[in-house]
Amino acid sequence: MVTSTHEASHRLFQDHPEALAPVFEALGLPPPAKPDFHELSPDTTEIRPVERRADTVLKFEPDTGESFVLAVESQTKRDPDKAKNWSYYVAYLRAKYDMPVLLVVVCRDRSTAAWATGPFPCAVGPWTTQVTRPFVLGPQTVPHVTDETVVAQQPALAALSALVHSESPRAAAILETVARGLMSFEPDITKYWFEVVEVGLESTPARENWRKLMQNVVTHFPGHGTLFEEKYLEGVAEGEARGEAKGILRVLEVRGLPVSDGVRQRITTCTDLDVLNDWLDRSGTVERAEDLFAEEDGPTY
């Protein structure tokens, strides 16, 4: 099942593969640069009834040095079936692209991270045919980002640190540092990174802490109910309500019906779009502006 954590990981490494810096450092490779990466299809399905899809697949092609395929997976708990799928991903991508494959697994739970390192052998008796050993980006391998300078220089790594360490005792300090550091960017960039982290934190307790640090901006992840999205949709609804109110007043004006200050205020302060739509429908037939509210107010005697 694709979760918010999976989507955040997918977007993070697709758009900002420089977040893989800890992997390259551990492998003794130069720091990764975004131009050296090219996105590949994450679909590893061969037989239609059995669909398999990695979170993110990238091709690393530097000007000098070895090229290889990176398959990035986000894992929130132990799953023996997923370990079998990882072996398949590696074998399939190796055959498809004729390049070495590096499997990177992102975990925020220490026990899951320890399990995900494998190795996962495919063996018959004493003979091992294949061994899958993922490189795990987890609490043991991703640095604690507690310096705002690092956030400003490497926002992708900072976001990864916030996600991976969201269950650690230092989570609050990391989130505060990352939030302050992200505020040094242009507003649109700050908004983007705030949402990457919020979506990635998913249902963790750290998410509520993060939401308190966020400001009102337009959403980059529609449909996930982030604070930014809620505020944005509230603004859209308010705009629609203002438009409906103007339409009602305009109809009454064209029909020459007097509109008292009380009626005007009631119309312009209403935020219920269903009520406003009903008033708009009736504005073309009522004899007095006050009659718009007859059904809500009930009969007068």
User: In Å, what is the CA distance from 109 to each residue of 26, 63, 83, 136, 163?
Assistant: 20, 36, 16, 11, 10
Helix (H) or strand (E) holding 127: strand 127-132
Dist CA 94 CA 65 (whole Å): 18
In sequence order, which residues have a C-beta less than 8 Å from that of residue 140 and are 6 or more positions away? 110, 113, 114
Tell me the three state secondary structure of residue 53.
strand
Strand partners, 71: 57, 103
The answer, as to whether pTM is greater than 0.95, is no
- Residue stretches of the chain with pLDDT short of 50: 1, 45, 47-51, 216-217, 300-301
pLDDT of residue 41: 72
Dist CA 7 CA 14 (whole Å): 10
Closest CA relative to residue 4, chosen from 278, 279, 223: 223
Biggest CA-to-CA distance, the chain: 95
Spell out a b/e string for 196-226, using b for 16 or more CB atoms within 10 Å of the CB, else e.
bbbbbbbebebbebbeebbeebebbbeebeb
Q: Peptide bond preceding 35: is omega within 30 degrees of 0, i.e. cis?
A: no
Tokens of 210: 């993060």
pLDDT of residue 233: 63
In sequence order, which residues have a C-beta less than 8 Å from that of residue 211 and are 6 or more positions away? 198, 227
pLDDT of residue 300: 47
